[in-house]
Amino acid sequence: MYAELSLLDLVLHASFVVQLVLAVLVLASILSWTLIFERSRVLRKAGRAADDFERRFWSGGDLSALYRDLGQNPKTLTGLAAIFRSGFKEFVRLRKGEDLDPMAIIQGAERSMRVALSREMDRLETNLSFLATVGSTSPYIGLFGTVWGIMHSFHALGNVKQATLALVAPGISEALVATAIGLFAAIPAVIAYNRFADRAERLNNRYEEFMEEFSTLLQRQGRG
């Protein structure tokens, strides 16, 4: 009879603690997959936006015209567009001041871009720590459920005169489900975290390279 139990039967016959562990793991898995799809969309969109902006930036057009175009919807700007607008805005503002050293103007623009970069990276890395937490803790939570379930199964043997494998096997099977669900929650979270962290780092490097190139252009304009 026990050999024919389904996964649902094993969960329903598990102890309350094991069921609670399973509920926590299932909830963590659902939240993880929700974040995986959401972060994948955000990072993919950020990559496409960077491609589009770089094509526009390096097309040879006037930077002032590009700045004005981006200023039409400043609150919606992200990525390279936000970094460019922040740096160019500060550059123009400082350049209008009196008796300012050209290098001081460039440094002010660079500081403004650094702030925009930090804000952008915070946006891209939002909730990645949750995926890391799920990936690192879910196996241990599942293991706790398994250990508790096995203890509960062996404790129940004290009420019988003769212990057999047939009596122990169902309880152990129910307990092992917790480990399986823990791995099911952890593995996608770990893979997604590593992938998203790598993509975010690549975007960060790309943003920093743009900032260096843009600073060089601003230095040339500052001498002009």
> What's the pLDDT score for residue 10?
66
63: pLDDT confidence band, cut at 50, 70 and 90? Answer: confident
Spatial contact of 57 and 30, defined as CB atoms under 8 Å apart? no
Mean pLDDT of 86-93: 92
Mean pLDDT over all residues of the chain?
85
List the domain range (segments joined by +) for residue 132.
2-223
Q: What is the percent of the chain with per-residue pLDDT over 70, rounded to a whole number?
A: 83
CA distances (Å), origin 151, targets 84, 110, 140, 144, 192: 61, 61, 16, 11, 34
> What's the pLDDT score for residue 165?
56
Which helix (H) or strand (E) element contains residue 55?
helix 16-57
**Nearest C-alpha neighbor of 150 from the set 128, 129, 130, 174:** 174
Mean pLDDT of 108-129: 94
Mean pLDDT of 57-62: 85
Mean pLDDT of 190-194: 96
Mean pLDDT of 91-110: 84
> What's the pLDDT score for residue 60?
80
Predicted confidence (pLDDT) at residue 110 exceeds the cutoff of 80: yes
Predicted confidence (pLDDT) at residue 3 exceeds the cutoff of 50: no
Alpha-helical segments (H) within 71-164: 79-95, 102-124, 128-156
Mean pLDDT of 3-20: 69
> What's the pLDDT score for residue 113?
96
CA distances (Å), origin 50, targets 56, 62, 128, 133, 212: 10, 19, 21, 29, 15
What's the domain count of the chain? 1
